[in-house]
Amino acid sequence: MNYSSELKKFLTSQYIYSGARIALAIVIPSIILAQFGLLKEFFLFPLGTSFVGLTDQPGPYIRRRNTLLLSVVSFFLIALLASLLKEFPIAVYLQIIFFGFLFSMIGVYGMRLATFGSIALVVLSIFIDGHLTGEDIFKSSFIFFLGCLWFFIVFLIVSRLQPYKLAGQVVGENYLELADYLRIKAKYYTKNPDFDALLNQLISQQVKIKNHQEDTREIVFKTRKIVNESTTQSRILMLMFLNSIDLYDKLLTSENDYKKMNQTFGDTVLLQNIHDYLLVMADEITNLGISLQSGLPYKEITNFDNELKKIYDEFFDYRSKKFSSETLEDFMMMRQVLMRITEITDEVNTILKVNSQDKKLAKSLSSGLDYSKFLPKEEKLNFKVFLSNFSLKSGHFRHATRVTIALLIGYIVSQFEILGIGHSYWILITIIAILKPAYSTTKHRNLVRFFGTLAGAIIAYIILHFVDESTALLVILLVSMIICFSLLKSNYFWAVLFMTIYIFLSFNFLRPGNINLIFKDRLLDTAIGGIVTFLVAYFILPVWEHTQNLALMKKSSKSNLDYFRSVMDHFLDNEPDDQDFRLKRKNAIIDLANLSDNFQRMISDPKNQQRKLETVHQFVTTTHLITAYTASLSQYAKSGHEFPEIDFQNWKIRISAELLRTSSLLFQQDLDEQTRIESHIKPEDHVVDLLEKRKAELENQVISDERKFGVSHLTEIKNIKELLELINDVAKDQRKIIEEYLIHQSTTATQ
């Protein structure tokens, strides 16, 4: 691992930038208040700032602004209402039920409002027993409101000063994830790799890339300054993102018969050189991503053309020694591998030229795409959508019910005098932070939260025992805040650890000498909240991942069929619709990532809920292969070359019929006999004859040492035929997997 690059990635990321902004917005006013001796009286000011800051999720400026405004008003009203009703027990319980359900259900409108809802419940938890507002409720609530408003003002100022900062960071993050994907791909070119483990790593990385691309699409395609302005910077950001999608497509298309390649070339220097070259390229892409995140100029280190030439020279040297009619197909395979690597190199070189801010390239940007069609689907703020989810079939409804019940139980437990808690807020906050719609996520966060809290509490205890200097404690507090807010999304354990440290230090500034009490209460509250969360998540309307399998399989099967047909239409149609192709490619990749993500979460479910785990894994694997092979096929389809030796029409009919058979099984539709017949059509290709003819020619002629860098027409049509055969074979395997899956499902249903 390159620790220098990892550190740079973190220090230039949107997470550290956001974390520093929130922390400074909290700490700077706190220092000023402390200088005037007002921090204890105005403690609710920085608290309001922190809550609103946490609702500021990456996205288009208008949506961020509107969510922050909603947060400022809502948090103030919740704090005021909760403080006014603290003396009325029945009203307190009604608040928990009403707000618990409302702010959990609001997640039907997307992750942005789901985050807002969670923080709103934290605000309710903080103010529900009135220990923060004191006697003057209106004054305390107004101070809290000013703190909320302060972060909104900070947001407006920063957005005005750096309008492209977030877009640059998320585009850069896309390149960092692509670099990691390329590093996994490079491992295929080592001797005797673990193919199954690498495939799982690739699928896992595809989930990350999909999530980043979805977030970036929303930010880039919905930010008016980027879409509508004609500035060089806005055009280049747009072009860099579009090129990152094309680069991912190129990486996805570099799917080969790695087992055969390793058997044939595993002992050669050539394979190791390819591995090293891909790692160098990954490092260069990483540096580019860091440059985009930081906004600093990028300087290319590697001359890819020279490095690629060395690999080709090694290939030709080895070819001159081993090439014959017997090894013809092996060298055709390797030449195709080198051609794919050359295409990736060309794509990277294009990206580097665009990033150099060549004005001619920037001003010529005109993709002709309707960006709105590429945006992630999001529910409109329509009350009918909200009402339509009032059903046990809705995952949002079930989650809202679980949250409400857990909060009620947590609050009731906090009132037991025998526990000597005296307050409820940290138990409720723990429940809100841990309890998520997916059981696997809840389980993971539960463990991480407890151990993170324990480790953070011990570290904070040691710090407060040995450090007396207030300035040093303030610096530690600020650093802990920044790291906590920076890691909340990416590494929850460390975020909780540093959160615990800064909370301990904050309470120490306000009430020195209470460290033992804080230590005991924090651990006890976290343990109680974790136990309540686990019991509710397991027993109250749980949503197990296996219940989502079939729906995700249906979507993935359909999108792969549409994607394959679109690619084949490129071979059969002289004027294909590029936007339609891009949309179908996007849908296939996203549906594959969603299916893979579902499977990964399913592994964390209880053993008795991991229904047909191996079968689902096989379906995920075959779906990945179909998507990857189809993407590889698309490179030939878009090349503009003609391949009359391939019977594309019958291949399209045959494979489409096979994929249709799988879809029909999944959707439980009757399959007509015509589709079954079409799946056995024999395409009339002329590749084998041409290959045999070429081998015969080699038997009777001297092997040429000519070093051409291109790929022969015979190599292209051979590879196209192999890809079509691979897609057909994998489609058959997938159909058999689904037949087994449905048989097991029907058997289980009758038991």
Q: What is the CATH number of domain 164-374?
A: 1.20.58
d(CA 477, CA 500): 10
Q: Average pLDDT of 550-557?
A: 91
Q: Output the CA–CA distances (angstroms, integers) from residue 229 to 60, 223, 224, 226, 232, in the order listed.
A: 15, 10, 7, 6, 9
pLDDT for residue 747 is more than 80: no
Q: What is the pLDDT of residue 751?
A: 46
Burial 9-38 (b: 16+ CB within 10 A, else e): bbebbbbbbbbbbbbebbbebbeebbeeee
pLDDT for residue 582 is more than 90: no
255-287 residue pLDDT tens: 677 888 888 888 888 889 999 999 999 999 999
pLDDT for residue 71 is more than 90: yes
| Contact indicator for 390, 87 with CB cutoff of 8 Å | no
Q: What is the pLDDT of residue 8?
A: 83
pTM over 0.85: no
Q: Higher confidence at residue 607 or residue 154?
A: 154
Confidence grade of residue 360 (pLDDT, cut at 50, 70, 90): low
Of 113-127, 242-256, 625-639, least confident by mean pLDDT is 242-256
Which secondary structure element, helix H or strand E, spans residue 425, and what is its range?
A: helix 425-434
Q: What is the CATH number of domain 546-750?
A: 1.20.58
Cα 676 → chain centroid:
38
Q: What is the pLDDT of residue 322?
A: 82
d(CA 333, CA 335): 5
Q: What is the pLDDT of residue 748?
A: 54
- The residue ranges of every structural domain in the chain are 1-161, 164-374, 412-539, 546-750
Q: Output the CA–CA distances (angstroms, integers) from residue 191 to 56, 276, 461, in the order listed.
A: 47, 13, 50
| Contact indicator for 426, 507 with CB cutoff of 8 Å | no
pLDDT for residue 363 is more than 50: no
| Contact indicator for 216, 591 with CB cutoff of 8 Å | no
pLDDT for residue 415 is more than 90: no
The candidate with the shortest Cα–Cα distance to 572, out of 628, 656, 658, 651, is 651
Q: Average pLDDT of 557-577?
A: 85
Of 101-115, 155-169, 377-391, least confident by mean pLDDT is 377-391
Q: What is the pLDDT of residue 700?
A: 65
Confidence grade of residue 750 (pLDDT, cut at 50, 70, 90): very low
Q: What is the pLDDT of residue 659?
A: 93
Of 84-88, 332-336, 374-378, 548-552, least confident by mean pLDDT is 374-378
Confidence grade of residue 703 (pLDDT, cut at 50, 70, 90): low
Q: Higher confidence at residue 359 or residue 436?
A: 436
Evaluate whether 164-374 and 546-750 have a shared fold: yes
Q: What is the pLDDT of residue 724?
A: 92
296-317 residue pLDDT tens: 888 888 888 888 888 988 888 8
The token duo for 373 is 């069609």
213-239 residue pLDDT tens: 888 887 877 665 555 555 667 777 888
The token duo for 90 is 């029945």
Give 254-312 as a 3 state SS string.
CCCCHHHHHHHHCCCHHHHHHHHHHHHHHHHHHHHHHHHHHCCCCCCCCCHHHHHHHHH
Rounded mean pLDDT of the chain?
A: 84
pLDDT for residue 209 is more than 70: yes
The token duo for 615 is 């079968």
pLDDT for residue 520 is more than 60: yes
Confidence grade of residue 319 (pLDDT, cut at 50, 70, 90): confident
CB atoms inside a 10 Å sphere around CB 232? 15
Confidence grade of residue 380 (pLDDT, cut at 50, 70, 90): low
Q: What is the pLDDT of residue 733?
A: 93
| Contact indicator for 115, 18 with CB cutoff of 8 Å | no
Q: Where are the alpha helices (DSSP H) in 136-268?
A: 137-161, 165-186, 195-221, 224-228, 232-253, 258-265
d(CA 102, CA 118): 10
Of 68-82, 392-406, 440-454, least confident by mean pLDDT is 440-454
Q: Output the CA–CA distances (angstroms, integers) from residue 305 to 175, 271, 354, in the order listed.
A: 21, 18, 17
pLDDT for residue 749 is more than 80: no
Q: What percent of the chain has pLDDT over 70?
A: 90
Q: Average pLDDT of 688-696?
A: 77
